[in-house]
Amino acid sequence: MKSINSVAVVGGTHGNEFSGIYLLRKWQQDASRITRESFTTQTLFANPKAHEENKRYLDSDLNRQFAVEDLANPELANYEQSRAKVMNAVLGPKGDAKTDFIIDLHNTTSNMGPTLIVLQSDDFNIRMGAYVKAQMPEAVVVFEDQIPLAEHKFVCSIAEQGVIVEIGPQPQSVIRQDVLDWMETMTGHILDYVDLYNKGQLPELPPTYEAFRYTETLKLPENAQGERIGMVHKNVQDNDFRPLHGGDPIFTLFDGSEICWDGDYEAYPHFINEAAYYDNNLAMSLAEKIAVEL
Amino acid sequence: MKSINSVAVVGGTHGNEFSGIYLLRKWQQDASRITRESFTTQTLFANPKAHEENKRYLDSDLNRQFAVEDLANPELANYEQSRAKVMNAVLGPKGDAKTDFIIDLHNTTSNMGPTLIVLQSDDFNIRMGAYVKAQMPEAVVVFEDQIPLAEHKFVCSIAEQGVIVEIGPQPQSVIRQDVLDWMETMTGHILDYVDLYNKGQLPELPPTYEAFRYTETLKLPENAQGERIGMVHKNVQDNDFRPLHGGDPIFTLFDGSEICWDGDYEAYPHFINEAAYYDNNLAMSLAEKIAVEL
């Protein structure tokens, strides 16, 4: 892989996820915290208008607007669709981007702790996970590499390399110090990693580490009319990255009855009961546990 | 006190506090859960329009619109000011209300557990606190009796008697099973209490119990321009109803420095880092611990 010359740190892709927005302000006053020798770093406040209105988005989720065909379609003209085209011009264009690596900062209401979501299982990302976990033992690494990076619709898919820093639990429209500290620490380790990678100075890393690979998304229980009729079971709530087996209770219906998971593998729920996912009636994501080999 | 003939259970006063809204739906299908022998019970979904938009309110906080002079002022005509006048016509009018007792159901993002907020320290409310705590040991009782009930601007101040059921932690726009269960349980105990009170059949209650009395509200740190420059200290976050003493760190500024509390009494913070209070840049409420005598 060619070296990383240009890095963008993006915050406020969702206007009510405060940690990235406040960190950008801090770093804009003291850029030394995100500056490293071997590359340039820029920051971008992705959706200030949604933040002003204290909402995730105005018209549609900005972090789902970066499909190549959508960026090329001038008829997709709502606020976030327009803003995506601007961001693509500034950081991209996707497929031939002037930015080599994007770190996109997010919060979740789920109890996921400090999570690094990587979208490719190449050497650069695999070693990044190892490095971050070595520096920050509480970090969790999730591979969402089920499709090529270019097919993702995320902000960070504009560049050839991109990751999501996803920290929780934090309610929407709140700043928690623990969550802010985790986000700043993880972002710093990622920037350190890129600098060491560029310079060929990576320390010795363990030959293998534990991570998770996305498998599927579960919906909240609905009736035939598409109305929500249940919620995440209290045994599952807050237990992000704890194993779930077939037959375990997973939902409680409002009538008091329980639904058990019918899966046939050991699953690791995450984004459990994430507030923003109610828009699409999603309950959680599932992953399998993997041993990543360097 | 005359007996309670008419009770209203209000949910969805804030459109993104989901527990009360879902419980109302459940009870509307099975009214037996909120029906008691000695009074009638009605339910009211206070702000369905804010719920549709998944917001706390459209124009202004509905739970601050029930001052007698505001209810009488036709120039206060925004959505919630109008809705308040409608609710006052249905449940009130305040000062001569057809409803004897209102239970208003709320969620908080703060780690307050199941909290009963009472607005008067008369025999009816004091015994209610004792009864609820006897049935539900994890319950917390807070007295906000610093002004007469009629001077409060809350929904529940329409009637001669009113309480707030305040359950957390729950992010905005989420349903947690533990929080939903607590809300249903506490509401049931309050309704049982009213029924037993009416019938003169209250069980023997302990002669004294621990509760909290509201003292003051603290703001988040601001600079001279009124911009937020800090957050709740991580030692205080989630420690609702744990003691705070003068000299304890209470805020962390974004530059890393700490602010200590300068109070001269043992304070019990609650509503710590409540998302909705950011609108007014509020950090938390404080209370003193009290021993309530029956």
ipTM at complex level: 0.94
* Average pLDDT for B245-274: 97
What value does the mean pLDDT take over residues B63-74? Answer: 98
Q: Is the pLDDT of residue B262 over 80?
A: yes
Handedness of CA A264, A267, A271, A273 (dihedral sign): positive
Topology classification of domain A216-285: N-terminal domain of TfIIb (2.20.25)
Tell me if B151 sits within 8 A of B95, measured CB to CB: no
Q: Which residues of chain A have a Cβ shorter than 8 Å from any chain B Cβ?
A: 22, 25-26, 109, 169, 171-178, 180-181, 231-234, 237, 252, 254, 273, 275, 278
Q: Give me the mean pLDDT over the A112-127 stretch.
A: 98
Average pLDDT over residues A64-73: 98
For position A202, what pLDDT does the model report?
97
pLDDT for B272-282, tens place per residue? 999 999 999 99
- Taking an 8 Å cut-off on Cβ atoms, the answer to whether B237 and A275 are in contact is no
Q: Whose CA is closest to A231, among B60, B115, B178?
A: B178
Residue A252: list chain B partners with CB under 8 A: 177
- Return the beta strands (E) in chain B as ranges: 6-11, 40-45, 101-107, 113-118, 140-143, 161-168, 208-219, 230-232, 249-253, 258-260, 282-293
Nearest CA-CA distance, residue A253 and chain B, Å: 10
> Residue B249 corresponds to which tokens in the numbers above?
């760190």
Over residues B186-234, the pLDDT tens digits come to: 999 999 999 999 999 999 999 999 999 999 999 999 999 988 999 999 9
pLDDT, tens digit (0-9, with 9 covering 90-100), for A238-278: 999 999 999 999 999 999 999 999 999 999 999 999 999 99
Residue ranges matching CATH 2.20.25.160 in chain B: 218-284
B110: closest CA of chain A, how far (Å): 10
Mutation to test the B interface, candidates A175, A178, A228, A234, most B Cβ within 10 Å? A175
pLDDT given at position A25? 96
Query: Cα dihedral angle (B218, B224, B228, B233), rounded to 10 degrees?
Result: -50
The minimal CB distance from B177 to the residues A177, A231, A275 is found for A231
Residue A278: CB atoms within 10 A of its CB come to 17
Domain(s) labelled CATH 2.20.25.160 in chain A stretch across 216-285
Q: Where are the alpha helices (DSSP H) in B136-270?
A: 177-199
Query: B275 to chain A: which residues are within 8 Å by CB?
Result: 171-174
Q: How many CB atoms lie within 10 A of CB B32?
A: 7
Report pLDDT digits (tens) over A131-166.
999 999 999 999 999 999 989 999 999 999 999 999
For domain B6-206, the CATH superfamily is Zn peptidases (3.40.630.10)
pLDDT mean over B279-288: 96
Tens digits of residue pLDDT in B123-174: 999 999 999 999 999 999 999 999 999 899 999 999 999 999 999 999 999 9
**What percent of chain A lies above the pLDDT cut of 90?**
98
Q: A89 near A82, Cβ under 8 Å?
A: no
A with B: how many residue pairs have Cβ under 8 Å apart?
66
Contacts of A254 in chain B (CB under 8 A): 22, 25-26
| Chain region(s) in chain A for CATH 3.40.630.10 | 6-206
Q: What is the spatial distance between Cα B271 and Cα B286, in angstroms, rounded to a whole number?
A: 9
Q: B136 exposed, middle or buried (CB, 10 Å; 0-12, 13-18, 19+)?
A: middle
Contacts of A22 in chain B (CB under 8 A): 254
Query: Across all residues in chain B, what is the average pLDDT?
Result: 97
Closest residue on chain A to B237 (Cα)? A176
Q: At A2, is the pLDDT very low, low, confident or very high (cuts 50, 70, 90)? A: confident
Determine the CATH number of domain B218-284: 2.20.25.160
**Chain A residues closer than 8 Å to B172 by CB:** 171-173, 275
The pLDDT assigned to A1 comes to: 72
Given the DSSP bridges, would you call strands B6-11 and B101-107 parallel, antiparallel or unpaired? parallel
Angle, alpha carbons A8-A13-A16 (nearest 5°): 140
Q: Is the pLDDT of residue B2 over 90?
A: no
Could you tell me where the beta strands, DSSP code E, fall in A129-182?
A: 140-143, 161-168
